[in-house]
Amino acid sequence: MKNKQELAEKAYQLAYDYDLKFGCCPQCVLLAVKETIGIVSDDIIKAAHPLSGGCALIGSGTCGAITGGLLALGAKFGRDVESLGKGKFMKSFMVGKQLMDKVEAEFGATTCNAIQEKCHGRTYSMWDAEEIKKLKNDEFVKYCAEMTGKIAQWCVEIMI
């Protein structure tokens, strides 16, 4: 069996590569976690699709890679249906906050637009074809892939 560091590095590389190849950062984080340590189901990966681009490509919501990471953590530490009404189950919130704190410390922002602003000094409309062309030609694509990889890596580190 691989050690924690090797698994975390594998998750990073998978998520980074998937983001460059497929886009949709929350799905890339979740697929990398699934292929590295399991836990995440295909249904969760599918359900994460509209969370991309700051939620439904609007940019003002939480970064999709972060939401993917939170879903991965929730798959392991979250409250199940049978436990509804039986307490808050703080472990899920604690590991989620741990991830959010790491992202904030490393990247200085947690919304898609704020991350774009930090990286480029501007934001892009993901609903505008011309803006998408500019975005794909920008270093932001690699920056997003880097962020997606790190979030997958951190999730694996937290989960094992």
108-160 confidence digits (pLDDT tens): 999 999 998 988 788 989 999 998 887 776 677 888 999 999 999 999 999 99
Give the count of beta carbons closer than 10 Å to the beta carbon of residue 74: 16
Structural domain span for residue 55: 4-159
In the chain, % of residues over pLDDT 90: 78
| Alpha-carbon 99 to chain mean position | 10
Specify the number of domains making up the chain. Answer: 1
Length of the chain: 160
How many angstroms separate the CA atoms of 86 and 72, rounded? 22
How many angstroms separate the CA atoms of 158 and 147, rounded? 16
**What pTM, to 2 d.p., does this model score?**
0.94
How many angstroms separate the CA atoms of 127 and 58, rounded? 8
